[in-house]
Structure 1
Amino acid sequence: MIFVDTSFWVALRNRRDDHHRQARSLFRLHAATPLISSNQVRGETWTFLRRRVGHASAAGFLDFIGESARLHVEHVDEATEEEAIGWLRRHDEREYSFVDATSFALMRQLGIGEAFAFDGEFAAAGLVELRP
């Protein structure tokens, strides 16, 4: 199972993104692998796409992930948020986002070590950012 971050979804959906080709390659290369993301990543991706690419692209993203049989969207609960808050308080070496910290917490809880991500935050947190 691979965790999917906002930076990957944005690259996959935005043809002008610097990582668009890599995202498409990774998505095809791991076509048989189950994917997991979070409701917070979904919301963050919607916001980014809506502001930078437009409403149609953001709505298309929601349709795309809603129809994907290989993707599970995990809902971040209060315990996961508390774990993320504790993690953020211990890590001031980078400007990690709250959403990334909840993603790291979910990955730890589910035993996932690999992510589709391009922003360097997952690698900095000791996780593997996959590349084609």
Structure 2
Amino acid sequence: MSTYVDTSALLAVFDADDPQHRAAAETWFGLLDSEERVVASNYVVVETVSLLHRRFGIPTVNRFLTDMLPAINVAWVSESLHSVAVSALLASGKCGPSLVDCVSFETMRQLDIRAAFCYDKHFSDAGFHTL
């Protein structure tokens, strides 16, 4: 079984001031202790690194890259997957999911992943089970 991990969950694991921090850390370590394969697209990795860098600095980025990223199976986005996601984004409207979310949804569909570790309502709106 696989679980997709979103930027919202990764940030919550790192941010002790996040209201979801404790639950996020428990879920993260629970996934690591289980047989679950943890997956994220390279777009989630880029978004996470950018936000960690802006909010917390390079030492936190380094912790993510050395301590957390090795446990994540990175799904690299192809040109065709990117194009499908851009089309979904353009069709979604002003308050719809971000491009990274649209890439995540298409990645999950292609890899037949039904569950996401996230704190983003767009995943449940798109029909995925959220942890």
Pick from 39, 44, 59 the counterpart of residue 36 of structure 1: 39
Once the two structures are superposed, the pairs formed by residues 1-132 of structure 1 within 5 Å of their partners are 1-30=2-31, 31-32=33-34, 33-68=36-71, 71-92=72-93, 94-130=95-131
How far apart, in 1, do the equivalents of 2:55 and 2:38 lie? 25
Q: Percent of aligned pairs with the same residue?
A: 33
On the 8 A contact 2:89/2:96 being kept in 1, the answer is: no
TM-score by structure 1 length? Answer: 0.89
Report the RMSD for the aligned CA atoms in angstroms.
Answer: 1.4
Secondary structure of the 1:89 match is: helix
- Structure 1 residue runs without a partner (length 5+): none
Deviation (angstroms), 1:93: 6.5
Offset, 1:90: 2.6
- Quick one: which amino acid aligns to residue 10 of structure 2? W
Structure with the higher helix share, 1 or 2: 2
State the 1:28 CA deviation: 2.8
Number of equivalences: 128
Q: Unaligned stretches of 5+ in structure 2? A: none
Between the aligned partners of 1:118 and 1:85, the Cα distance in structure 2 is: 22
The code of the aligned residue for 2:111 comes to: L
Deviations 1:65-103 (A, max 9, x none): 3432xx201111101101111222332263311111101
Distance 2:97 2:26 in 1: 27
